[in-house]
Chains A and B, each alone.
Chain A
């Protein structure tokens, strides 16, 4: 089946630094990818929609200048957390739905990235 690979699986960084998270679709092309954030004991919250060749669409309340998204190719989307602070510590998950236009198909998720800002 389709695979979405996320890297790194975990990262610890100092406050004020930037962290880049990669999301790759390994055996299919994804013109759209989704980025979620999940705090402990909570559900996944959609942060933004990454669109290949165009600007990302951010959900209300998500700072686009802080969470930079680049969808450089049909198989790669990156999320950069800029000037990270401890409150940005969370589990970040990407998703890619294969079969664009076939909305009754399953979505595939990366394994997630645990970000800890110290």
Chain B
């Protein structure tokens, strides 16, 4: 699986937007970009995913660079409940295995 690189940690103030970057310079044409987050003592939960175009859902937005070598997860208004570890994962859509390979992720701290 192609690797991703994320900052180890980031901080944000509550009610402010947060941009979480992810580099994936070795991404292949068939890789989808997935984002999951893990709150303390819980299993990961899905946030968003995309292939080439920017994506929006109720939780976040995903901005994908034109060359697809990087992406940014955008939380429009961070809340204390958004404090979690955010994982950027590439998922090959052509293989038969659909396992997710987790990197180290970004630990987001949200303060008042």
Whether the Cβ atoms of A93 and B98 lie closer than 8 Å is: no
A-B contact count (CB 8 A): 60
Whether the Cβ atoms of A44 and B44 lie closer than 8 Å is: yes
Whether the Cβ atoms of B98 and A32 lie closer than 8 Å is: yes
Known: A104-B32, A104-B49. Contact between A43 and B98, CB under 8 A? no
Whether the Cβ atoms of B49 and A109 lie closer than 8 Å is: no
Tell me how many residues of B have a C-beta within 8 Å of chain A: 27
Whether the Cβ atoms of B101 and A103 lie closer than 8 Å is: no
Known: A34-B99, A104-B32. Contact between A112 and B93, CB under 8 A? no
CB closest chain-A residue, reference B45: A109
Whether the Cβ atoms of A43 and B97 lie closer than 8 Å is: no
**Residue positions of A touching B, CB distance < 8 A:** 4, 6, 32, 34, 36, 43-46, 49, 91, 93-95, 97, 100, 103-104, 106-112, 114
Query: Could you list 11 A-B pairs, sorted by A, with CB under 8 Å?
Result: A32-B98, A36-B102, A43-B102, A44-B44, A44-B102, A93-B44, A97-B98, A103-B92, A104-B49, A111-B43, A112-B42
